[in-house]
Amino acid sequence: MTARWKDCEAPSLDDIAAMAEAARAALPEAFRGPAAAVVLRIEDFAADDLLDELEIEDAFELTGLYDGIPMTQKSVMDPGGPDVIWLFRRAILDEWAARGDVALDALVAHVFVHELAHHFGWSDGDIAAIDRWWE
Protein backbone atom coordinates (compact mmCIF):
# COMPACT_ATOMS: atom_id res chain seq x y z
CA MET A 1 0.00 0.00 0.00
CA THR A 2 2.86 2.44 0.59
CA ALA A 3 3.90 2.21 -3.08
CA ARG A 4 0.74 4.11 -3.96
CA TRP A 5 2.06 7.19 -2.14
CA LYS A 6 5.69 6.83 -3.19
CA ASP A 7 5.50 9.33 -6.05
CA CYS A 8 3.03 11.75 -4.46
CA GLU A 9 3.89 15.29 -3.45
CA ALA A 10 2.04 17.64 -1.15
CA PRO A 11 -0.14 20.15 -2.98
CA SER A 12 1.87 23.27 -3.80
CA LEU A 13 0.94 26.91 -3.36
CA ASP A 14 -0.02 26.92 -7.04
CA ASP A 15 -2.23 23.83 -6.54
CA ILE A 16 -4.12 25.57 -3.72
CA ALA A 17 -4.45 28.70 -5.86
CA ALA A 18 -5.88 26.64 -8.72
CA MET A 19 -8.45 25.09 -6.37
CA ALA A 20 -9.47 28.54 -5.10
CA GLU A 21 -9.71 29.89 -8.65
CA ALA A 22 -11.95 26.94 -9.57
CA ALA A 23 -14.18 27.89 -6.62
CA ARG A 24 -14.26 31.50 -7.84
CA ALA A 25 -15.21 30.33 -11.36
CA ALA A 26 -18.02 28.19 -9.91
CA LEU A 27 -19.69 31.13 -8.16
CA PRO A 28 -23.11 32.17 -9.42
CA GLU A 29 -22.77 34.62 -12.30
CA ALA A 30 -23.97 37.59 -10.27
CA PHE A 31 -20.96 37.23 -7.94
CA ARG A 32 -18.27 36.18 -10.42
CA GLY A 33 -17.52 39.66 -11.76
CA PRO A 34 -17.14 41.41 -8.42
CA ALA A 35 -15.23 38.42 -7.01
CA ALA A 36 -12.74 38.71 -9.86
CA ALA A 37 -11.59 42.04 -8.43
CA VAL A 38 -10.37 40.39 -5.21
CA VAL A 39 -6.69 39.46 -5.28
CA LEU A 40 -5.87 35.92 -4.19
CA ARG A 41 -2.65 35.26 -2.26
CA ILE A 42 -1.45 31.88 -1.08
CA GLU A 43 1.24 31.44 1.57
CA ASP A 44 2.27 28.52 3.72
CA PHE A 45 1.42 30.40 6.93
CA ALA A 46 0.24 33.83 8.00
CA ALA A 47 3.06 36.22 8.88
CA ASP A 48 4.02 36.43 12.55
CA ASP A 49 3.01 40.09 12.81
CA LEU A 50 -0.45 39.27 11.45
CA LEU A 51 -0.85 36.40 13.89
CA ASP A 52 0.20 38.74 16.70
CA GLU A 53 -2.30 41.38 15.55
CA LEU A 54 -5.09 38.78 15.50
CA GLU A 55 -3.89 37.35 18.84
CA ILE A 56 -3.48 33.89 17.31
CA GLU A 57 -0.67 31.87 18.86
CA ASP A 58 -0.75 28.85 16.53
CA ALA A 59 -0.35 29.53 12.79
CA PHE A 60 -2.22 26.30 12.06
CA GLU A 61 -5.41 27.94 13.42
CA LEU A 62 -5.69 30.45 10.56
CA THR A 63 -6.65 28.91 7.21
CA GLY A 64 -7.71 32.11 5.47
CA LEU A 65 -8.14 35.84 5.87
CA TYR A 66 -9.95 38.63 4.06
CA ASP A 67 -7.98 41.89 4.00
CA GLY A 68 -10.04 44.79 2.75
CA ILE A 69 -13.17 46.83 3.22
CA PRO A 70 -16.43 44.94 2.66
CA MET A 71 -18.44 46.16 -0.31
CA THR A 72 -21.31 47.03 2.04
CA GLN A 73 -19.04 49.48 3.90
CA LYS A 74 -16.94 50.99 1.10
CA SER A 75 -17.12 54.63 0.21
CA VAL A 76 -15.37 56.83 -2.33
CA MET A 77 -13.24 58.17 0.54
CA ASP A 78 -11.62 54.77 1.23
CA PRO A 79 -8.04 54.17 0.10
CA GLY A 80 -7.82 52.52 -3.30
CA GLY A 81 -5.80 49.39 -2.46
CA PRO A 82 -7.08 46.03 -3.66
CA ASP A 83 -9.05 43.68 -1.45
CA VAL A 84 -7.10 40.48 -0.82
CA ILE A 85 -8.02 36.98 0.25
CA TRP A 86 -5.17 35.10 1.86
CA LEU A 87 -5.23 31.31 2.01
CA PHE A 88 -2.68 29.54 4.19
CA ARG A 89 -1.66 26.24 2.63
CA ARG A 90 -0.14 24.47 5.63
CA ALA A 91 -3.07 25.32 7.89
CA ILE A 92 -5.52 24.14 5.22
CA LEU A 93 -3.58 20.90 4.71
CA ASP A 94 -3.49 20.33 8.46
CA GLU A 95 -7.26 20.79 8.75
CA TRP A 96 -7.81 18.54 5.72
CA ALA A 97 -5.69 15.77 7.26
CA ALA A 98 -7.36 16.15 10.66
CA ARG A 99 -10.86 15.98 9.15
CA GLY A 100 -10.15 13.02 6.91
CA ASP A 101 -13.67 13.17 5.49
CA VAL A 102 -13.59 15.92 2.88
CA ALA A 103 -11.83 16.40 -0.46
CA LEU A 104 -9.07 18.99 -0.41
CA ASP A 105 -10.60 21.05 -3.21
CA ALA A 106 -13.88 21.19 -1.27
CA LEU A 107 -12.08 22.46 1.84
CA VAL A 108 -10.17 25.08 -0.16
CA ALA A 109 -13.45 26.19 -1.78
CA HIS A 110 -15.10 26.39 1.64
CA VAL A 111 -12.32 28.57 3.09
CA PHE A 112 -12.23 30.77 -0.02
CA VAL A 113 -16.00 31.31 -0.12
CA HIS A 114 -16.13 32.17 3.56
CA GLU A 115 -13.36 34.76 3.13
CA LEU A 116 -15.14 36.09 0.05
CA ALA A 117 -18.27 36.40 2.20
CA HIS A 118 -16.46 39.06 4.22
CA HIS A 119 -15.83 41.00 0.99
CA PHE A 120 -19.47 40.87 -0.08
CA GLY A 121 -20.94 41.34 3.39
CA TRP A 122 -22.99 38.15 2.87
CA SER A 123 -25.42 36.84 5.44
CA ASP A 124 -25.27 33.25 6.66
CA GLY A 125 -28.16 32.48 4.30
CA ASP A 126 -26.22 33.88 1.33
CA ILE A 127 -23.20 31.75 2.24
CA ALA A 128 -25.33 28.63 2.65
CA ALA A 129 -26.87 29.11 -0.81
CA ILE A 130 -23.41 29.11 -2.43
CA ASP A 131 -21.28 26.93 -0.15
CA ARG A 132 -23.35 23.88 0.73
CA TRP A 133 -20.64 22.67 3.10
CA TRP A 134 -22.88 20.51 5.25
CA GLU A 135 -24.02 18.27 2.35
* Structural domain includes residue 4: no
CATH number of the domain at 62, please: 3.30.2010.20
Per run of 10 residues, the mean pLDDT along the chain (length 135 residues) is 74 97 92 90 96 95 90 71 93 95 94 89 73 59
Provide the Cα torsion 135, 32, 90, 95; round to 10°: -10
Q: How many domains does the chain have?
A: 1
Provide the edge-to-edge strand list for the sheet that holds 39-43: 39-43, 84-88, 64-67
pTM for this structure? 0.86
What's the DSSP call for residue 83?
A: P
Check: CB of residue 105 under 8 Å from CB of residue 19: yes
Does residue 86 belong to any structural domain of this protein? Answer: yes
pLDDT at 70: 80
Q: What pLDDT shows up at residue 16?
A: 98
Strands 39-43 and 84-88: parallel
The whole domain housing 40 covers 10-68+81-130
Q: Which residues, in sequence order, are bridge partners of residue 39?
A: 84
Instruction: Tell me if 5 is assigned to some domain.
Output: no
State the pLDDT at residue 78. Answer: 66
Residue 135 lies in a domain: no
